Amino acid sequence: MGFPSMIVDDSLLSLVSPEAEPFANAEERRVMYVAMTRARRSVTILASEARPSAFVTELMKDPVYGVISPEGASERTHTCLQCGGRLLYMPGQYGPGWYRCEHVKLCGNRMSACPACGVGLPIRNTDTGNLQCSECGAEQQACPTCQDGWLVERRGRYGPFLGCVRFPGCSGKAKLRKTA
């Protein structure tokens, strides 16, 4: 359901109430105000960075409240291209990490981390068309099929080739250039 509640009030309530509330979600605002004013020293509000409530968004916009976010919270936030959720970094046990969608049961989107640093997620560079790592700045060749993934070296029965990191969702590949 979420907060604030999006349930419409009963029509009988409008007959009893003399006038409409001036603010949307007025009752929820009162509850939030009471909760915030009962704190002695400070208030800690935990909210989803991907989908914060209307109240949290309003508090963050107003400098009077002094709302702070953790350092680097929005820097490492990447959006899932399939469902719009947030991609979460998962450290690799024996190598580079990877990212998975926060809606793992519904979406299941997974992406490898940057092969150069093992932490960042390559993001499309509008100038070159390739993907550039958000952490180390290394450029990766974009997949010609899906345009979301990048090509990494893989081995097949016919030898090495470049394949998309989004395999098996994407079967994009390219020939590996031979160096003399």
pLDDT digits (tens, 9 = 90+) for 34-43: 888 888 888 8
Cα 177 vs. chain centroid, distance in angstroms? 35
Check whether residue 114 and residue 160 sit in a common domain: yes
Check whether residue 24 and residue 99 sit in a common domain: no
The number of distinct structural domains making up the chain is: 2
Instruction: Measure Cα distances from 134 to 1, 30, 64, 78, 166 in Å.
Output: 35, 41, 32, 10, 18
Check whether residue 61 and residue 146 sit in a common domain: no
Check whether residue 82 and residue 166 sit in a common domain: yes
Check whether residue 133 and residue 88 sit in a common domain: yes
The confidence score (pLDDT) of residue 1 equals 47
Read off the pTM.
Answer: 0.51
pLDDT tens figures, 52-83: 677 777 887 888 877 766 554 445 567 887 78
- Structural domain boundaries, residue 95: 78-174
Check whether residue 86 and residue 147 sit in a common domain: yes
Q: Residue 14 phi/psi, 5° resolution?
A: -70, -25
Sign of CA dihedral 158, 170, 130, 110: negative
173-174 and 131-133 strand pairing: unpaired
**Looking at the predicted structure, is the pLDDT value of residue 131 above 70?**
yes
